[in-house]
């Protein structure tokens, strides 16, 4: 059967189904009383847009593109369909030729485009087609490996709001600096995530309109560049300078606190810091709500004390990435009663203290000694919990599921749905009406990332 005949059969079927829904039995009775009039046979070409969308939903992308290329009429139908469905494209899932064809159909409706982020990616070869077809693009994720004396293709994307770039240049400092300074002309750019191995950060400070900046996951970025950014980027609401920046001093934190008054989210590491650097100064940031800290097994109690007594905006999430903390440290941080998200590792389970955090929505724990009883107590005692992410749950077994079922059946009041992630021993299962147990674990925290992206887009 030919491709067009196949599409015709699908179309006839959808048309007949929609026609059957539309006409009632009373109309059949009326037609029986009226003389029969021969009407022209209707074909699938007269289907409305809803029917065409349903037909196209049955097809994979390659077949959709073949359909669109078969004639001009189908091409216009697919263009309207694609302008709704394919506004966010991940090129990693699409073949090269199909990608080029799809981008031409989507055109100025494309909002987000993603490609591979690694040193071997050649994703920037598609910049020319983004330039010619998708000039309204707002979000771009791409590896940049080529510098041909200019960035005309990239610079044509004047509406970019968010850029996640992996820079892989031969002359790292010179070309990375030129790349960063070139971004100054993007008047709408508010979010930059820059991955650039061995880049020292020179030139970034000119992007003084940024609201979100992420750097520092690679060796090379230095404290001087960080200070320059903090002094000039007065509108920063999210700053992540990672855990690899060395030579950070008290002066860096003084500059950060003095200049970044709008900062709501901050991520940094303390492993490379000199023991005398007072990083607890960040507690003075008036709008700080989300804090992520990489550590080497110890976090000063003065940081927790500052967060407990923090003035103005209360802290909503605390993400502590590193080895197990001591139980006394976790007990101390559990006095930050305003927390909605906590991510922490501990060598034991301070259950009574964790249960003080009644506002928690998301709880990520690495506590290998946690038991079925303790896990169930957390479910019972934290009434607003949406996600319970337990890593290294070696003592949790299948009997936990049965105990949850018993507890659910005894509930008199319904709660919102809870997702429980368990990395070992338990298979994925739904426990009606509101608990889903998933085998696996979440790696990233939730609030510090999702809420910021929503606010930037708004």
pLDDT per residue as tens digits for the range 309-335: 998 899 999 999 999 999 999 999 999
Predicted confidence at residue 321, as pLDDT, reads 95
CB distance 316 to 445 below 8 Å: no
More confident residue, 12 or 392: 392
For residues 351 and 363, give the distance between their C-alpha atoms in angstroms, rounded to a whole number.
Answer: 13
Give first-to-last CA distance, the chain, whole Å. Answer: 49
Which helix (H) or strand (E) covers residue 192, if one does? strand 191-195
Find the range with the poorest average confidence among 75-79, 114-118, 413-417: 413-417
Token couple for 10: 């699908």
Predicted confidence at residue 23, as pLDDT, reads 44
Q: How confident is the model over 139-148, as a mean pLDDT?
A: 84
Number of H helices, E strands in the chain: 17, 16
pLDDT value at 8 more than 80: no
DSSP string, 329-396: HHHHHTT-TT-SEEEEEBSS--HHHHTT-TT-SEEEEE-TT--HHHHHHHHHH-TT--EEEEES-TT-
Q: What is the pLDDT of residues 243-276, one digit of tens each?
A: 989 899 999 999 999 999 999 999 999 988 888 9
Find the range with the poorest average confidence among 14-28, 116-130, 148-162: 14-28
pLDDT value at 159 more than 60: yes
Q: What is the pLDDT of residues 420-453, one digit of tens each?
A: 999 887 888 888 778 899 999 999 999 998 755 4
Token couple for 40: 């022209």
For residues 131 and 144, give the distance between their C-alpha atoms in angstroms, rounded to a whole number.
Answer: 15
pLDDT value at 299 more than 80: yes
CB distance 238 to 211 below 8 Å: yes
For residues 263 and 282, give the distance between their C-alpha atoms in angstroms, rounded to a whole number.
Answer: 10
If you search the block for the tokens 């005949």, which residue do you land on? 5
CB distance 425 to 397 below 8 Å: yes
For residues 221 and 202, give the distance between their C-alpha atoms in angstroms, rounded to a whole number.
Answer: 9
Q: How confident is the model over 7-29, as a mean pLDDT?
A: 49
Q: pLDDT band for 458, please (50, 70, 90 cuts).
A: very low
CB distance 158 to 180 below 8 Å: no
For residues 419 and 430, give the distance between their C-alpha atoms in angstroms, rounded to a whole number.
Answer: 9
β-pairing verdict for 435-439 and 429-431 = antiparallel
pLDDT value at 46 more than 70: no
Residue 212 burial class via C-beta count within 10 angstroms: exposed 0-12, middle 13-18, buried 19 and up: buried
Calculate the average pLDDT of the chain: 87
Decide: pTM greater than 0.95: no
DSSP string, 404-440: HHHHHHH-SS----EEEEESSS---EEETTTEEEEES
């Amino acid at each position: 059967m030919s491709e067009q005949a196949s599409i015709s059969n699908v179309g006839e079927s959808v048309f007949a189904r929609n026609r059957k829904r539309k006409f009632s039995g009373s109309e059949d009775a009326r037609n029986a009383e009226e003389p029969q009039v021969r009407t022209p046979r209707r074909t699938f070409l007269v289907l409305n847009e809803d029917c065409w969308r349903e037909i196209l939903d049955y097809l994979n992308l390659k077949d959709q593109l073949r359909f669109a290329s078969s004639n001009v009429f189908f091409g216009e139908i697919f263009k309207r369909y694609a302008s709704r469905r394919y506004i966010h494209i991940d090129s990693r899932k699409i073949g090269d030729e199909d990608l080029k064809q799809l981008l031409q159909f989507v055109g100025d409706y494309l909002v987000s485009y993603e490609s591979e982020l690694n040193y071997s990616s050649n994703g920037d070869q598609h910049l020319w087609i983004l330039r010619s077809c998708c000039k309204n693009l707002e979000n771009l994720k791409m590896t940049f490996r080529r510098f041909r004396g200019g960035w005309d293709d990239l610079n044509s994307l004047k509406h970019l709001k968010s850029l996640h770039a992996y820079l892989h240049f031969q002359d790292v400092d010179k070309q990375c600096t030129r790349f960063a300074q070139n971004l100054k002309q993007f008047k709408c750019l508010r979010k930059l995530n820059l991955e650039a191995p061995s880049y020292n950060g020179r030139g970034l400070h000119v992007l003084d309109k940024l609201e979100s900046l992420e750097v520092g996951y690679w060796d090379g970025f230095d404290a001087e560049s960080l200070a320059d950014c903090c002094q000039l980027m007065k509108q920063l609401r999210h700053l992540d300078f990672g855990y690899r920046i060395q030579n950070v001093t008290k002066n860096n934190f003084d500059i950060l606190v003095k200049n970044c008054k709008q900062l709501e989210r901050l991520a940094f590491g303390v492993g490379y810091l000199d023991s005398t650097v007072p990083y607890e100064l960040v507690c003075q940031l008036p709008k700080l709500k989300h804090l992520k800290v990489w550590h080497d097994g110890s976090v000063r109690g003065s940081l927790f004390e500052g967060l407990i007594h923090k003035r103005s905006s209360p802290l909503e999430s605390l993400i502590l990435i590193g080895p197990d903390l001591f139980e006394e440290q976790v007990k101390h941080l559990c006095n930050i009663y305003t927390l909605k998200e906590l991510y922490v590792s501990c060598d034991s389970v301070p259950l009574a203290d964790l249960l003080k955090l009644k506002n928690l929505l998301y709880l990520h724990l690495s506590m290998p000694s946690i038991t079925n009883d303790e896990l169930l107590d957390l479910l019972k005692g934290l009434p607003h919990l949406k996600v319970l992410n337990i890593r290294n749950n070696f003592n949790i077994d299948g009997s936990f599921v049965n105990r949850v079922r018993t507890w659910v059946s005894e509930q008199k009041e319904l709660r919102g749905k809870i997702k429980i992630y368990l990395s070992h021993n338990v298979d994925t299962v739904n426990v009606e009406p509101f608990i889903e147990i998933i085998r696996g674990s979440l790696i990233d925290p939730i609030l510090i990332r999702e809420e910021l992206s929503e606010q930037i887009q708004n």
